[in-house]
Every structure is written in C-alpha cells, then in structure tokens.
C-alpha cells in the first residue's frame, strides 16, 4: 500500500512533465510563429499595395502635369481642355479615395476585418458601403458586394433664375444623399448651351464650400460669364452622377422701392379690401407682401390672417376686412414686404380705413372687374364679391366660366359674398363671377379670374433596377402637366447629355458601360422658370467580362531600352467589367504565374487589377497575358515585352508524347526586337511548316510517327533555334472483333479479334469456361489478329468472350456475347387449382424467347374421348389456363408444349377430373322474334359448355300473363331457342329464362315483356234493344261490359250497326259509332227492319249480334185518305187485323 502511495505522490509532483503539456507548449510556439509570419507577410503586402497606389497616383498626376505644361508652352488649349483636365483630377481623387478603402490581404487563413479608417463618411458603415472577404489563393475567393446607392438631391435652387444685388453677392445651396455620400461640384455653362463646360472652383470671385454651397462675392467689376452665368450643381458617387437644371444668375444694382396701402375705404355691412402696391412695378419680381399690421393705441400689432375671421389675406396678398361697421372707421393699417435679394423686411406707412354709409343708389363695384388672383395648388383661398351696398332682398349667385355653381352653400359665408375654395387644383382655375339680382336696382356682376399654379413633377417609369447584360431597357418619363403644352425633354447619363428630346429613351443591348444614373428633365421653354427632373439608377448584371486597358500603353508590344534593363518595371493595369466577379489568371508564355497582382473591387462590383513586371534579363521578356472568365464568357489581354536591340530569345519547349492520329499543337514563345521572324521547320524533311512575325508561333499537326521539329527565331541581331521532339505512341487498342451473335445449336461459329499496339504488345481471347482454344494468330506492323472456329456449338459455349490487349503503358479490353439457341425445356410442375384451372412454371426458353404455348385438350365421354381441342396462348408471360364454362363432372386429358424460334419443347401430359359447379351465370340477350297474335319465338344466349358423362343443362322458361299478374305456364327446353303457342291476342306477356343442372338453377335472366298482335274480336253484343220513337225513327241501345274487353283481341275501334229492310240484303247499310246508343231517322213507313251490332278492333270486326226486327207505322194523314177511299177499306181491315 505504501509503495502505491509513493507512486501516486510522485506522479502528482511531476504532473507538469506530462507528455500532453509538452504537446500543448509545442502547439503554442508553432501557432505564435505562424501568426507572426502571417502578420509579417500581411505588412509587407500592405506596404506594396500602398506603394502601388501612390506610384499609380504619381504617374497619373505627372501625366496630367506634362499635358498642362505642353499646352501652356504652345498656348494650344481651350476651355473644354481645362474642363477635361479638371475632370481627370477629380476622377484621380475619387480613384485614390476609394482604392484605399478596401485592401485585399492574401495568404491569410482567417478572415480579416478592416476597420473604418476615417475615409468612410459618418453617415454610413462599411457594411452599407461594400464588404468583401477573401480566402487564401489556394481556394476560391469569396466576395460579397453591396452596391452603392446613387445620389439624389435633397435641396437645390427651385427656380431657373436667381436675382441678387451686386453689393451683396448670392449664395447657391446644393445638397444630396447617397451611399457613399456624393461629392458635390459646380459647373458653369457656355453661352446659350445648357451643358456644363467650366468647372467652378474657389477664386477671387467665388467661394465653393465642401457642403456644396457656392457663393458669388460682392463685386464692382462685372464679369458676365461669372456674375450673370448659368450654374449647374453635380452630385457624384461610384454609382454615377446627376445634376440640377441650370440656374441663371441675374445681378441687380441696388435701387430704392416704395410700398403703399391703397383703396382704404369700405361700406357698412360689406367687406373692405386694402391693396399694397410696390413701386416701381419691376421691383415686384423680388419684393413680396408677407403680412399686414394694425396700429392700436400707438402699438403695432401683426394681424392674424385666417379664413372665416375678421381679417384674411387674399391670394393676391390684399387684405380683406369682413363685416365692417362704424367701429372700423379710422383704424390704421400697413402692409409688410420682404426683399428676397437682401432679405430686408419693411412695412409701409399706416393709412386709415374710412367706412362709408351704404350707397343710396344701390349696389356698386368696390373691386375692379377682371381682378386676377393667383394661388398654389393645395392652398385654401377666398374669392371676394367686389360689390358693396347690397340689399338684403337681393339674390347673390356665383358663376364659373359662364355656368352657375350649384350646391356651394358650405363654401359661402359673410352673406354669400365670400367664396372659399380649399385644396385647390388646376381644375379650379377659371373665370369667376359674383352676380347680384335686385328687383329695384337690377343686376350687377363682379368678375374675377383665378389661376392655380401646379408645381411641375416628373416621374421615371423605371426606378432603381437590375438588368441582364444584352437585354433591353426602356425608360419613360411623365409629368403632371397638361399634354397640350409644348414641351421638350432633356436626357442625361451620368450628367452627360443624350441626344434625344422624346419622353422615352431605349437601350437595346445593355453592357456594364450603360450602368449609372439616368435623368430626364422636363422643360416647357427657356423663358419659363417651371421645370422638373426625374432620375433612376441602372445596374447591369450577368455580364461577360470586357476590358478597358490602362492608357499607359496603347500597344500590345512594349519595347524596353537595353540601357535600362537592370531596373525596369512595367505595370499591367486593367479595369475589368463583369458580373458575376470573374476569375483572373496571369500567364507568361502560356505558363500560369503564381502572381501577387493587386485586385481592387470597385464599388460597382467590377475589378481593377494591377501587376508590376520587373524586367532584369531576357528571361523576363515574353508574352504576359491576363485570362479572365466568368459564367457568361471569357476574354484575354496581353502585352509582349521586348528589349530593344535584343537577339532572339526562345523559351525552352518541352518534348511531346502523343497518341497516334491525334491533333497536337506546339507553341514557340520568343522575344527579340526589331523585326522578329519565326519559323517551324520539319527536321526530317527540312520543310518550313509555318511562319510568323509575332510570338507565339504555333505548329498544329496530326502524326502517325515520331518526328523532330525546330523553332527558329531571327532578326537583325542574330538568330536562335530550339528543337522539340514529338513522340508518337501506339497504345493498346482493339480495332475490331466479333459482334454479338445468336446461333443455333450444332452450327459452326467463327470468332476473331483485331488490335494494335507497341512496346511488348499482348493480345488474348478469353472464353467463358476458360477452355483452351485453338487460336490462329496473324501479325503485321503493329497490328495482331486472333481467330478461332467452334464446330457443333453447344449450349455450354454460350457466354461472354473477352478480347484483351496490353502493352507496357496501356491496356484495352472489349467483350462480345455468344448465345446458342435450342428448343425450350419440357414444362415441369403443372398444378391444378380449384379443379378448373391449371398453372405451370415457365420453362427455360433455350436462349430464344418463348413465342407461345399450345394446349391439346380432350374430354372423356363415357368410355371414349372427345376430339382434340387446340388452344394457343400467344403471350409467353401467361402460364395458366382456366376451364371457365365447365359445370359438369369431367375427366380431362391435356398436353402442353412451349414454342420458340427453334421449335417446340417435349409435350407435358396431365389428366385430371373436374367437379360439378353451381350455375352462376344468368342467360342473357333474351330476345323475342316472329311475334304473332298467338305465338312467339324466344332466343337467348348462354356460355358454351362441355358436358361429360351423364351431366345435363336445361333451360326453364316462365311466362307471366300481365293481365292476370301470374305465372301462366312453365316450359323446359334443352336449346337456346323455343317457340311458345296458344297465346292470347293483343296481350302482354313477360318471359324469364334460367338454366338448371344437377346442383340447381342459375340466376334468372332479365325479364322480357312483349305484346302479341291483334286478331278478330271474339266479343259479341247480347242485350240489343230497339225502341220506336215515332213512325220514322227508332233508338237502338246495347251494352258492353269491361270484362268483355279481354275478348276484343285488339284495341277497340268502333261498334258496327247493320240494318236492312224486309230481308232485302240490297238495302243493308252499316253505321260505325263508338257510343252504345244510336238513333235511326227517316225510316220508311210501315216497313220491317232488321238490326244487328258487331264489335270492331284495329284488325277486324267480330261476329254480329242476333238480329232483331222492328216495324214502322202509317201516318194519320195517309190513314184518313185510305178511309175515304172504299177501295182501301178492305186493306185497312186487313191491316188492323194484322196489327191486333
């Protein structure tokens, strides 16, 4: 125990020596070293970047200075040149300002956050401006760009003309917002052209402040271009620039002016209107009335001017005093005026208001007709009725443009003498009139006009938007002015005038050059001070790269003096426009350089890249090339550096190994100056293949054998050459081989494989069973052919055969399949399902698709078998057969064969017995044919079936008499047709059929209802009566009971009444009627008639009833004549005797 305690104590005391602590200490040292190294490299790179920025600025500034010196020396420059130089200096200032904001630090494993160095304005953060993150050069750079927001003016001079006193000067204010904050500059136009031409900066006449304010100092010596010029304020940031409309300065020599109160009178119970006149009238353009004063007890009080109060200010700045009374008499008033040029405010002398009594002559004008009132849109104004001394009985009405204004009671006050209009618009402009109609004094009209000034507003159809490169942008400007006013539009792109005066501007093929700020300005005329501008910012995205090279070198060839070769450096500066940000690679003589070129991401999302080439010897000369690409395209930019008087220098060319028959290209990069000549020469034939005067020179060819080529460079200072060997390899390649084959068993098969290759070339054929094959080999040049023959081919020879080629640097393999076909195997495993279906397994198809199955079926009938029934199943996927219509107990013998393209399999035999089944199917398609009045033939259908042994199937026919609604008869029959006789005529019957076997009946068929045809009626009349109505008329009546309708044998049509005289059939007549009563008139006197009645249907009439007789009597007149005539006495006696 003590021993273990000592060990534990020792471990505790020496825990700082644990191996893990050593690892942690080692990790700490390595990490500190890596961080120090990374920081050191970052500092070095930062110094280089800053040096490059400063150096670039110095060179650009020196170039501008040189141009200025030359221009001044030769006195050869104009004002436009000065403007361009100033613009270049501004651009240089902006470029340096923005280039130092973001610095890329490469080769750092972690992201570096660059803090605000003070160059970013206070009203923005780095996140609002632009954020970029870069990973080390071994991984793709990750850049996040937040696009800047274009400038927008906040406050500008709203008028086109600005008056000022020469002894005071004038201040022009201009401020704008944007991200980053815009730079504000001022320009002066040249003469009548409104385009900015002269950059304005602080001088002895002008002060320009950083906040955008411009101040023209007081002056005595007048300079028209400065003191009466047109000035434009421009706001610019990386998104682009916008500018104001020109502001025309108009200096004035200070002159006195007077203001005086006029029209200081009024009538009781009316309104008094006091005017304030400015003299001279020309001073009214800059002196404006701003209020009114009243003197009360020697105290001056500024009036509170409000609508519907005692005092108000009219739109023409006159003072209106409502409802004046005697207490208003001798109250004094003065007007207040402000001079906008010196901001001097003064008031006039006070004048007393004199209140007059009402005119005894009735109403009269107190304000001159056609007084003009002006107001701004949205104002609330009052129009006074300039008529006083109005009777209380007078009717007051208001009119506009000759039409009476209706429903304006809420707009009138002060006894309808004041019309108040609120929130006025251009629609309220017009000619107004106040009309007084009085029965005593007649009609009086006070007329006035109102002009509403609507501030002009412009709107651009497209706000800030992104467009795909190559697409079309259509900008449309609109204003709120009336369309009929003649106008012209001025368009600007980044403050540069666009040559169009229409209200729309289209760009058909957008590129990154079209990005920036667009303005449209609406100008009615040069003399009108009303104008407006609208703007939008366009960004072009999804653009392929394009390059604007730095102006330092305009040629693709740079020639260095041989005297300066030890300390020459050349800058490759490029601005690359593209979206998304492209990948930039730098190559020298087609070899990619691991460059430390500086990349600055411009605020627009484009790229400025800078790479410095230090040329110290011939190895540094050659073709330097930028290769730029993004997902939408790629471009290149190259510079070829030569040393003056240089003997040709050729970059070493590596030997080339290619596969025979493939195209190859050799590039020979050379430098030398002047007059460099390059050639490619075939070393074997000594023929010149290609020539060129520029590097590189290319050799493109297709060879089948190895060769040496010479690149030769030559100029006045010497020549040089270098050799390149092109080695042609013939890799292992299978050229052709036996295609896939299907062959019948016992036939002969020929197989071959042809391949080529060099350098220990091998070729083999492998069979599925790896049997040794009798292969014949043939060789020629680099090719080899293997062939073999298989006689009496068997199923075991089926399978994949492989042709395999190999040499010491490549291999190739290809396979082909041999399929040997035979008849299908015999069908095994036949199963019986539910005694009426057989199922079998699909046999092996013998490598040939089974086309069909053939079934041979026989039924045992007693001691003998039926004839063979052949069933063909043409779908090889069906491996079952059902005996669907077999309802009896049967013994069946069946034989099955599978058939393919080769032939049929051996038959598979089976014998089995089925059971009796219940009949589950009802007879169908029950039809009646040959319908007569007494009989009908029925036919129906039933599935065909096979009867075996003593089995039977018979059909039962049920007949339902629809008249009695009962089954009248039942028949049994063994066929599907049956004739039924002894039916009633014109009767409805319903028939049902079902089948029966030993197990019972099947379901019944659908009922069939028919109607038999008509026949001769069997019904007769038995209660016929005749009644004599008079000597020539009789009534015949009879009855026909409902139960007798069943003997009609058809549809009742009529009763046929037959009558004839004294057994004389020639007098027989028949009368048809549907009634059971008939009156016969106009019968012969003393005549015996026989009458009978028959019933008729649509087919015929039935038997007549028993005839009854009736005799008519003599008339009384005839009887009297007979009595008078003795001759007739005997006849009368006989007649009486007979009648008795």
Confidence (pLDDT) at 83: 60
Looking at the domain covering 557-642, what would its CATH class be?
Answer: mainly beta
> Lowest-pLDDT range, 222-231, 533-542, 598-607?
598-607
CA dihedral 872, 875, 878, 884 (to 10 degrees): -40
Options 4.10.1240.10, 3.20.20.80, 2.60.40.10, 3.40.120.10; CATH of 924-1011: 2.60.40.10
Q: Cα separations (Å) of 929 from 141, 935, 940, 975, 1010?
A: 94, 10, 11, 16, 10
Provide CB contacts within 8 A for 408, sequence distance 6+. Answer: 398, 419
Confidence of residue 505 (pLDDT cuts 50, 70, 90): very high
Whether pLDDT at 496 is above 60: yes
Least confident of 37-51, 371-385, 668-682, 977-991: 37-51
Cβ contact 272:287 at 8 Å: no
Per-domain residue ranges of the chain: 28-112+123-142, 150-252, 255-357, 362-454, 458-541, 557-642, 646-729, 733-821, 830-908, 924-1011, 1025-1122
Closest CA to 248 of 313, 177, 192: 192
The token duo for 1082 is 């106009």
Over 50: is that where the pLDDT of 117 sits? no
Range 458-541 classified under CATH 2.40.50.100? no
The whole-angstrom separation of Cα 548 and Cα 570 is 18
740-764: average pLDDT: 92
Place of tokens 């100092």: 217
Q: Chain-centre distance of CA 535, in angstroms?
A: 28
**In the chain, % of residues over pLDDT 70:** 84
155 versus 585: which is more confidently predicted? 585
Fold of 733-821: Immunoglobulin-like (2.60.40)
Reported pTM:
0.52
Per-residue confidence band for 921, with pLDDT thresholds at 50, 70 and 90: confident
Return the pLDDT at 493.
Answer: 92
- The DSSP code for 883 is -
| 74 Cβ contact list (under 8 Å, min separation 6) | none
Stronger pLDDT, 1000 or 61, i.e. the higher one: 1000
Instruction: Mean pLDDT check: name the lowest of 86-100, 218-232, 834-848.
Output: 86-100
**Domain 830-908 sits in CATH 2.60.40.10:** yes
Q: How far apart are CA 660 and CA 704, in angstroms?
A: 5
The residue ranges of DSSP E strands in 454-566, in sequence order, are 458-460, 465-468, 473-479, 488-493, 496-498, 504-507, 516-523, 531-541, 543-549, 557-560
pLDDT at 82 exceeding the cut of 70: no
| Homologous superfamily in CATH for domain 255-357 | Immunoglobulins (2.60.40.10)
Most confident listed range (55-59, 104-108, 702-706): 702-706
Q: What is the CATH number of domain 646-729?
A: 2.60.40.10
CATH class as words, domain 1025-1122: mainly beta
Residue-wise pLDDT tens digits, 655-676: 998 888 899 999 999 998 888 8
Mean pLDDT in residue range 163-172 = 90
> Quick check: 497 pLDDT over 80?
yes
Q: Which of 58-72, 284-298, 858-872 has the highest mean pLDDT?
A: 284-298
Stated as kind and residue range, the H or E segment containing 886 is none
Model pLDDT for residues 878-902, shown as the tens digit of each residue: 999 988 777 777 888 899 999 999 8
| CA pair distance 899, 929, nearest whole angstrom | 47
Least confident of 246-260, 360-374, 683-697: 360-374
CA distance 170 to 155: 16
Q: Give pLDDT, residue 132.
A: 37
- The CATH number given to 362-454 is 2.60.40.10
**Mean predicted lDDT score pLDDT of the chain:** 82
Reply yes or no on whether the pLDDT at 1114 is more than 70. Answer: no
Same fold: 255-357 with 458-541 = yes
- Strand order of the β-sheet with 591-592 is 557-560, 633-643, 622-630, 583-588, 591-592
Give the dihedral of Cα atoms 395, 400, 403, 409; nearest 10 deg: -50
Given a contact cutoff of 8 angstroms between Cβ atoms, the answer to whether 246 and 230 are in contact is yes
Mean pLDDT, residues 604-609: 79
Overall average pLDDT of the 726-750 stretch? 92
Report whether pLDDT(62) > 60.
yes
| Segment holding 96, helix H or strand E | helix 79-99
150-252 in CATH: which number? 2.60.40.10
**DSSP code per residue over 529-544:** --EEEEEEEEEEESEE
- The C-alpha atoms of residue 9 and residue 2 are separated, in whole angstroms, by 11
Q: At what angle do helices 1129-1139 and 1116-1124 cross, to 10 degrees?
A: 130
Rounded CA separation 1140/1135 (Å) = 9
72 pLDDT more than 80: no
pLDDT at 731 over 80: yes
Lowest mean pLDDT among 136-150, 718-732, 838-852: 136-150
Residues 505 and 829: their CA atoms lie apart, in Å, by 87
Lowest mean pLDDT across 433-437, 621-625, 1105-1109, 1126-1130: 1126-1130
Angle CA(802)–CA(805)–CA(808) in degrees, nearest 5?
145
What radius of gyration, in Å, describes the C-alpha atoms of the chain? Answer: 63
Query: Where is pLDDT greater, at 533 or 102?
Result: 533
């Amino acid at each position: 125990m003590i021993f273990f305690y000592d060990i534990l104590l020792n471990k505790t005391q020496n825990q700082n020596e644990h191996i893990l602590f050593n690892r942690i200490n080692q990790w700490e040292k390595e990490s500190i070293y890596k961080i120090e190294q990374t920081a050191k490299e970052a500092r070095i790179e930062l110094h280089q970047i800053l040096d490059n920025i400063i150096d670039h600025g110095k060179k650009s500034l020196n170039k501008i200075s040189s141009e200025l010196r030359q221009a001044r020396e030769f006195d050869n420059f104009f004002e436009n040149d000065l403007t361009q130089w100033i613009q270049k200096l501004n651009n240089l200032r902006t470029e340096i300002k923005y280039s130092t904001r973001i610095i890329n630090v490469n080769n750092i494993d972690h992201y570096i956050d660059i803090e605000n160095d003070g160059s970013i304005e206070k009203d923005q953060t780095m996140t609002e401006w632009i954020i970029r993150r870069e990973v080390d050069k071994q991984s793709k750079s990750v850049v996040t760009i937040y696009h800047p927001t274009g400038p927008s003016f906040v406050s500008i001079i709203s008028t086109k003309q600005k008056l000022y006193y020469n002894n005071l000067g004038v201040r022009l204010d201009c401020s704008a917002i944007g991200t980053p904050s815009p730079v504000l500059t001022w320009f002066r136009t040249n003469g009548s052209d409104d385009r900015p031409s002269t950059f304005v900066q602080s001088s002895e006449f002008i002060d320009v402040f950083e906040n955008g304010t411009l101040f023209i100092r007081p002056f005595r010596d007048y300079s028209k271009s400065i003191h009466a010029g047109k000035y434009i304020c421009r706001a610019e940031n990386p998104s682009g620039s916008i500018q104001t409309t020109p502001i025309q300065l108009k200096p004035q020599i200070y002159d006195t002016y007077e203001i005086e109160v006029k029209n200081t009178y009024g009538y009781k119970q009316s309104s008094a209107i006091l005017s304030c006149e400015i003299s001279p009238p020309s001073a009214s353009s800059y002196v404006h009335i701003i209020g009114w004063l009243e003197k009360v007890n020697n105290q001056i009080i500024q009036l509170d001017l409000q609508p519907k109060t005692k005092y108000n200010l009219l739109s023409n700045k006159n003072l209106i005093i409502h409802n004046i009374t005697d207490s208003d008499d001798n109250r004094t008033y003065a007007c207040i005026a402000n001079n906008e040029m010196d901001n001097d405010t003064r008031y006039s002398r006070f004048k007393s208001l004199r209140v007059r009594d009402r005119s005894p002559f009735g109403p009269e004008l107190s304000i001159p007709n056609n007084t003009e009132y002006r107001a701004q849109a949205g104002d609330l104004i009052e129009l006074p009725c300039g008529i006083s001394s109005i009777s209380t009985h007078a009717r007051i009405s208001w009119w506009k443009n000759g039409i009476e204004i209706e429903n304006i009671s809420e707009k009138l006050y002060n006894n309808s003498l004041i019309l108040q209009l609120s929130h006025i618009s251009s629609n309220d402009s017009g000619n107004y009139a106040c009309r007084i109609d009085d029965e005593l004094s007649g009609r009086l009209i006070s007329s006035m006009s109102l002009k509403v000034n609507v501030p002009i507003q412009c709107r651009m159809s497209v706000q800030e938007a992104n467009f795909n490169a190559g697409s079309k942008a259509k900008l449309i400007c609109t204003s709120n002015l009336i369309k009929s006013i003649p106008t012209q539009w001025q368009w600007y792109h980044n403050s540069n005038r666009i040559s169009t005066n229409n209200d729309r501007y289209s760009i058909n093929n957008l590129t990154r050059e079209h990005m920036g700020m667009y303005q449209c300005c609406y100008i009615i005329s040069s003399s009108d001070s009303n104008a407006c501008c609208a703007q939008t910012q366009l960004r072009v995205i999804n653009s392929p790269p394009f390059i604007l090279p730095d102006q330092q070198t305009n040629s693709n060839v740079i020639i260095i003096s041989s005297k300066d070769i030890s300390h020459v450096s050349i800058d490759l500066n490029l601005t690359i426009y593209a979206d998304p940000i492209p990948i930039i690679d730098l190559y020298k003589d087609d070899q990619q350089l691991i460059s430390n070129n500086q990349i600055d991401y411009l605020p627009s999302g484009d790229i400025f890249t800078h790479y410095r080439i230090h040329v110290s010897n011939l190895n540094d000369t050659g073709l330097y090339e930028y290769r730029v690409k993004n997902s939408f395209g790629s471009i290149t930019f190259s510079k070829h550096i030569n040393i003056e008087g240089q003997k040709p220098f050729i970059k070493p060319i590596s030997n080339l190994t290619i596969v025979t028959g493939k195209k190859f290209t050799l590039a020979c990069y050379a430098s030398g100056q002047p007059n460099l000549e390059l050639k490619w020469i075939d070393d074997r034939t000594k023929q010149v293949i290609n020539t060129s005067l520029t590097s590189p020179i290319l050799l493109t060819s297709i060879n089948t054998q190895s060769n040496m080529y010479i690149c030769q460079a030559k100029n006045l200072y010497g020549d040089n050459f270098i050799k390149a060997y092109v080695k042609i390899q013939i890799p292992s390649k299978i050229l052709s081989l036996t295609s896939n084959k299907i062959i019948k068993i016992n036939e002969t098969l020929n197989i071959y494989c042809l391949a080529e290759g060099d350098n220990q070339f091998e070729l083999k054929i492998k069979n599925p069973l790896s049997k040794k094959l009798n292969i014949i080999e043939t060789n020629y040049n680099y090719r080899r052919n293997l062939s073999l023959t298989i006689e009496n081919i068997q199923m075991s020879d089926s399978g994949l055969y492989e042709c395999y080629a190999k040499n010491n640097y490549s291999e190739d393999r290809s396979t082909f399949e041999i399929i040997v076909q035979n008849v299908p195997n015999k069908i095994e495993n036949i199963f019986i399902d539910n005694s009426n279906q057989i199922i079998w397994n699909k046999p092996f198809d013998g490598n040939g698709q089974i086309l069909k199955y053939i079934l041979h079926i026989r039924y045992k009938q007693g001691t003998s078998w039926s004839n063979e029934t052949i069933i063909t199943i043409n779908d090889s996927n069906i491996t079952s057969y059902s005996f669907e219509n077999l309802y009896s107990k049967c013994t069946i013998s069946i034989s099955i064969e599978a058939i393919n393209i080769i032939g049929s399999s051996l038959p598979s035999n089976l014998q089995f017995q089925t059971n009796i089944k219940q009949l589950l199917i009802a007879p169908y398609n029950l039809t009646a044919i040959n319908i007569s009045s007494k009989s009908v033939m029925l036919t129906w259908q039933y599935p065909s079936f096979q009867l075996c042994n003593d089995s039977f199937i018979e059909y039962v026919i049920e007949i339902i008499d629809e008249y009695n609604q009962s089954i009248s008869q039942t028949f049994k029959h063994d066929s599907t047709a049956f004739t039924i006789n002894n039916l009633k005529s014109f009767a409805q019957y319903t028939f049902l059929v079902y089948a029966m076997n030993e197990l019972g009946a099947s379901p019944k068929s659908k009922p069939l209802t028919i109607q038999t045809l008509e026949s001769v009626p069997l019904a007769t009349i038995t209660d016929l009566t005749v009644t004599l109505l008079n000597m020539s008329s009789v009534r015949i009546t009879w009855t026909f009971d409902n139960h007798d309708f069943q003997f009609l044998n058809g549809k009742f049509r009529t009763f046929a009444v037959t009558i004839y005289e004294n057994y004389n059939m020639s007098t027989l007549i028949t009368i048809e009627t549907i009634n059971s009563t008939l009156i016969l008139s106009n019968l012969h006197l003393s005549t015996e008639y026989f009458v009978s009645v028959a019933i008729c249907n649509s087919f015929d009439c039935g038997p007549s009833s028993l005839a009854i007789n009736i005799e008519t009597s003599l008339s009384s007149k005839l009887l009297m004549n007979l009595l008078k005539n003795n001759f007739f006495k005997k006849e009368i006696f006989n007649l009486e005797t007979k009648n008795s």
